[in-house]
Structure 1
Amino acid sequence: MKRQEDGEKNEQRHDNLAHYLPNSTMPWWKTRHFLVLNWLILIVSLTSTNTGYDGSLLNAFQSMPDWMSAMGHPEGAVLGAIANGVVFGVLLSTLVASTISDRLGRRHAITIGDVIMIIGTIIQSCAGTWLHVNGNDKQETSRRTYAMFLVARIILGFGNGVATIASPPLISELSYPTHRQAVTAFFNSNWYLGAIISSWVSFGTRNVGRNWSWRIPSIIQGFFPLAQICLIYFVPESPRFLISKGRNSEAREILLKYHGGGNEEECGALVDFEMSEIELAIEQEKYANHFSYLSFFKTPGNRKRLFILCFLGVIMQLSGNGLVSYYLSIVLNSIGITSTSQQLIFNGGLMIYNYGISIIINLFAHNHTRRRTVFITSVASMLLTYVIWTILSAINQQRNFEDSSLGKGVMAMIFLYYLAYNLGLNGLPYLYLTEILPFTIRTKGINLCVLVQQIIQIYNGFVNPIAMDAIEWRYYIVYCCILAVELVVVYLTWVETSGRTLEEVVEVFGESITDHDIEHLKKNKAMAEHRENVSSDGDNVDKTSSTENENNLLA
């Protein structure tokens, strides 16, 4: 009986948003305010482009003799340390990133992160430039250049971490309700845009002498954070952040402008509904959670959220992608592709393929599929490709890499693997995180997920190159086992969030929408209908809306 009543309440909740959406047959790209809003959200996505540029850059550098010579030919743990430089920086940023975002606002946090990244880019580009060692000691010069480069990467990571924690919440909280799934998922797709630019810039500079082959790509790395600084304040602040600071009128103006095109008569009801949901959710969360990380341990729903976000961080970085993304040159060497030009061309082509696939998936698939189903399909497909990849690599090594068809088979598995990875672990995780986390702990939850990812990347950075050198193709078996475990955990523990607004997802964590909440929304519906009837008297309606919201929140 109770389950039936809950179902009726949920159905009533889900019908509310549809009731307020304006009737329009015009596609979003022909609607000016939607087009402007989505272009502005693209500016926020440049944060992911910064990350992708750096990830591909280190891959390219490992294929450049000049860079290897300048750094003293690092390998094993030494190479792992420089690969993890950004990781160390991001780890440090998790101490302050969510606090900066929650107190100063999403846009200010992104700006602060970009400024720090530009400082890191300058240091990285100048690594070794001013070093003068008596006796022209090349070994000592290499050690100092390496140290300077490592420090620069830590600074880059710190700035990137601050910006990354703020960006997905801003996108999710600013986007139009029916566009939120696509634009939030698209955020991480731009990782590949940065990787494409990085890989082909590196290919173009590969034969430039006097260490400019790697300095030029390093200098260009500062372009994206600089561009984002120049553009970010054209992006409006998160309405949810503004409401949490008591700036409700500013939030309503933003929602009306970008969700309703400034048309009070047609879209005022939708804006009032969104305002009402956000206000109610934030007030309830304030009393229940008190903005602390301890909130994750206070209720069964939050404990489940904590487990999911931590495990999501694990599968994003420990599903075999770290082996390919950051050590592609080692993987290609293992299948007999050793030429610098061949490796850079392969890397560039792979990034273009990934970008195209991720755009198609994130713009079209996530609007029409269930989250849990996509995660399960993605992990299962990665497991299958890794098993085949392992078998082909074993046979290829036994034949001394003389059978080119086996090497091509491994290359094909790399492309199929990334198809599976992009399906569930490229754009979907940040969409999923913003859905399962309520506003007051949203940036904290994303902060924890990023922290887990960086811890896993430390493993990837140090263990992967050592293990590949020691046991070669047999190391792939480890990831086959890990993927199998991940598949079981996702199947047994993941929850479904599709078809709900950000404020309605509490239902799937056993935190039922109460009768008071339903009554609040009924009153809001009556108020919105009243607005439609007396839209010419907007001032009186605003006063009525404000009074009813205050009375409901105090009830």
Structure 2
Amino acid sequence: MASNDRKEDVDARRQSVDALVSQLAAQDKTPWYKKPNLRIMYLVFLPTCLGVEMTSGFDASMMNGLQAVDSWDTFFHSPRSTLLGLMSAMYSLGAIVCLPFVPLVTDGLGRRRAIFLGSVIMIIGAIIQTCARNFAMFVVARLIIGFGIPFAIVAASSLIGELSYPKERAIMGSLFNSCYFIGSIIAAGVTLGTFAMKSNWGWRLPSLLQVLPSVCQVAFVWFLPESPRWLISRGRGEEAFAILAKYHAEGDLNSEFVKAEYVQIEKTLELEKETSKVGWVDMLSQVGMRKRLVIAAFLGLVTQWSGNGLVSYFLARILDNVGVTDNRTKNLINLANTCWGFLNATFFALTVSRFKRRHIYLLCTISLLLVFTGWTIVQKKRVESEIQKDAHPQAREANTEKASIEKEERA
């Protein structure tokens, strides 16, 4: 009982401090680009924290593009079905294997070191992928890349939230996701430029260029300050206060806003320490807590299970099924799709605070449902059309000749 009373007291004080921080932030009318220290930090975000998502986007778009590169298809003996799924799934499998270690590294070593470690692992994986001599080596390389990405993503997203000024925090967090498409656009452009190369560099070059985002993170992450929250949790309060004053008050150590932020972080850590004593049994003992647990557990799963993975990793095969077989056309569609995704993601990132979260979520989910329904109908119509054509001997003979000509042209 005493523990619950203490927790409620800490929570009440935290809420009052939250309200004060929000009030003081609203009174600040100076835009971020007129604050030199904050402006520089946001610029360094680009190759570091925001750049982490570019790695994920590059990987997905690259795997899409490589399936439309003849040299890649020939080198790996035209992987389809299970083998193609394994190539793509190993990236996610590596991330799943890594997850138990992520909080230990992120909270133990700090956000910057976690980003550095994850980026180094991804560089190693990309180099092995570039030098792959067979299917097994390529798959293992993708596993290594997937193992490194969670360290960087979790630490980078945390650092964005913990360093950003409160007024821009939601926008910066949303831009983190939109940067996924910057990596996708670069990879789609690269594969469009290399798909016609006859040598194995048609697929090795995109694999090699996958190191670029990680190299930027390794080079620039040390120009970012460490997380004030992490520093306070480690008993390094003076360093944390100095960072908050430099970037949120342009060096004013007497700023009331910075003092309120510092207290806010302390109270939040204190509350988390109290709630950490609550076990899983307590979480499942109440109907409301069980409902929240189910929603939290399935929200991420359902979001990734919405069909976007098909477009991210198997667009080339989907296009085959709807009648688009030209490799150049496939790569152009891949590039156009990533550009369109970037425009939409950036728009919602800059306007996210004006819409209700559930409304945006439902709108995007319903849109995906309509798109995949349309694709399914088109695929069905094409299959029916092919069946009707093959039902006539002359048409079947023409199709056979056409297939032979295409095979000779590829050879």
Bin for the TM-score computed over the shorter chain: 0.7 to 0.9
Mapped partners of 1:251, 1:346: distance in 2: 47
Equivalent residues of 2:18, 2:264 under 8 A apart:
no
C-alpha spacing 1:230/1:305, structure 2 compared with 1 (3 Å): farther
Residues 250-273 of structure 1 deviation map (CA, whole Å, 9 limit, x = unaligned): 1111111111111245xx111111
- Cross-structure match for 2:25: 21
Aligned-residue offset at 1:188: 1.4
Instruction: Determine which of 31, 54, 60 is the counterpart of 1:49.
Output: 54
**Alignment check: 8 A CA contact 2:126 2:207 kept:** yes
Distance (whole Å) between structure 2 residues aligned to residue 288 and residue 310 of structure 1: 19
Structure 2 counterpart SS, 1:179: helix
- From 346, 354, 364, the equivalent of 2:333 is 346
Deviation by residue 1:183-240 (Cα, 9 ceiling, x = unmatched) = 0111111111111111111111122232010011111111111111000011111111
Partner of 1:253: 242
Residue of structure 2 in register with 1:462 after alignment: none
* 1:327 match: secondary structure: helix
Change (3 A) 1:338 1:372: same
Task: Pick the aligned partner of 2:357 from 354, 361, 371.
Answer: 371
TM-score by length of 2: 0.85
Tell me the SS of whatever aligns to 2:323.
Answer: coil
CA contact (8 A) 2:121 2:147 kept: yes
Distance change >3 Å, CA 313–CA 24, structure 1 → 2: closer
Q: 1:109 to 1:13 in 2, by over 3 A?
A: closer
Q: Equivalents in 2 of 1:13, 1:388: separation in Å?
A: 50
1:195 corresponds to: 184
- Give the letter aligned to residue 212 of structure 1: W
Please say if residues 121 and 219 of structure 1, whose CA atoms lie closer than 8 Å, have aligned partners that are also in contact.
Answer: yes
In the aligned structure 2, how far is the partner of 1:344 from the partner of 1:328? 10
In 2, Cα distance between equivalents of 1:356 and 1:171: 21
Matched, 1:274 2:261: yes
Aligned match for 1:106, one of 111, 130, 155: 111
Matched, 1:380 2:357: no
Alpha-carbon spacing, 1:295–1:188, altered in 2? closer, same or farther (3 Å): farther
Check if 1:222 corresponds to 2:208.
no
Q: Of 376, 379, 382, which residue of structure 2 is paired with 1:390?
A: 376
Partner Cα separation in structure 1 for residue 238 and residue 280 of structure 2: 29
What amino acid does structure 1 have at the position aligned with 2:259? D
* Residues 44 and 223 in structure 2, CA contact (< 8 A), matched pair in contact too: yes
Query: Residue type matched to 2:106 in 1?
Result: S
Query: How far 1:392 sits from its partner (Å)?
Result: 3.9
Distance 1:207 1:301, change over 3 A: same
Counterpart selection for 2:141 from 140, 144, 152: 152
How far is 1:109 from its partner? 0.7
Q: Secondary structure in 2 aligned to 1:240?
A: helix
Residues 100 and 323 from structure 1, CA distance in 2 versus in 1: closer, same or farther, beyond 3 angstroms? same
Letter of the 2:38 partner, please give it. Answer: F
Return the alpha-carbon distance in structure 2 between the equivalents of residues 82 and 65 of structure 1. Answer: 17
User: What is the deviation of 1:288?
Assistant: 2.3
Distance in 1 (CA, whole Å) between partners of 2:37 and 2:280 is: 37
Confirm whether residue 30 of structure 1 aligns to residue 34 of structure 2: yes
- Pair 1:240-2:229 in alignment: yes
Deviation for aligned residue 1:58? 0.9
**Contact 1:89–1:161 (CA under 8 A) maintained in structure 2:** no
Aligned residue pairs: how many?
376
Deviation at 1:16, TM superposition (A): 2.1
| TM-score, normalised by the number of residues in structure 1 | 0.63
Q: Distance in 1 between matches of 2:239 and 2:161?
A: 18
User: Cα deviations across residues 342-388 of structure 1 (Å, max 9, x unaligned)?
Assistant: 1011101111111122111112x212122222222222333333334
Task: Give distance in 2, aligned partners of 1:173 and 1:291.
Answer: 25
The answer (yes or no) to whether the contact 2:45–2:51 under 8 Å persists in 1 is no
Task: Provide closer, same or farther for how the CA distance between residues 191 and 207 of structure 1 changes in structure 2, counting only shifts above 3 A.
Answer: same
Partner Cα separation in structure 1 for residue 151 and residue 280 of structure 2 = 18
Which residue does the alignment assign to 1:176?
165
Change (3 A) 1:152 1:362: same
- From the superposition, tell whether residues 340 and 215 of structure 1 become closer, same or farther in structure 2 (CA, over 3 Å): same
Superposed CA RMSD? 2.6
Question: 1:288 — aligned with what?
Answer: 275
Q: Is the 8 A contact 1:72 1:146 kept in 2?
A: no
CA distance, structure 2, for counterparts of residue 295 and residue 275 of structure 1: 31
Residues 15 and 161 of structure 1, relative CA distance in 2, 3 Å threshold: closer
- Partner residue, 2:297: 310
Q: Distance in 2 between matches of 1:255 and 1:359?
A: 28
Residues 393-444 of structure 1, C-alpha deviations (whole Å, 9 max, x = no match): 4334433499xxxxxxxxxxxxxxxxxxxxxxxxxxxxxxxxxxxxxxxxxx
Q: 1:73 to 1:18 in 2, by over 3 A?
A: closer
Name the CA shift for 1:193/1:295 in 2 (closer, same or farther; >3 Å).
farther
Aligned match of 2:9: none
CA distance in 2, matches of 1:24, 1:71: 58
Structure 1 residues 147, 230: closer, same or farther in 2, change over 3 A?
A: same
* 1:320-361 CA distance string (max 9 Å, x none): 111111100111112211011110111011111111221111
User: Is 1:76 paired with 2:84?
Assistant: no
**1:85 aligned residue:** 90
Task: For residue 33 of structure 1, report the CA deviation from its aligned partner.
Answer: 2.8
Deviation at 1:24, TM superposition (A): 4.4
Query: In structure 1, what is the equivalent of residue 396 of structure 2?
Result: none
Is residue 262 from structure 1 mapped to residue 269 from structure 2 by the alignment?
no
Deviation at 1:299, TM superposition (A): 7.4
Contact 1:46-1:224 at 8 Å conserved across structures: yes
Paired residue type of 2:327: T
Secondary structure at the residue paired with 2:100? Answer: coil
1:59–1:326 CA contact under 8 A, matched in 2: yes
**Cα separation, partners in 2 of 1:70 and 1:161, compared to 1, 3 Å:** same
Q: Is 1:161 paired with 2:150?
A: yes
The farther-off stretch of 389-398 and 374-383 is: 389-398
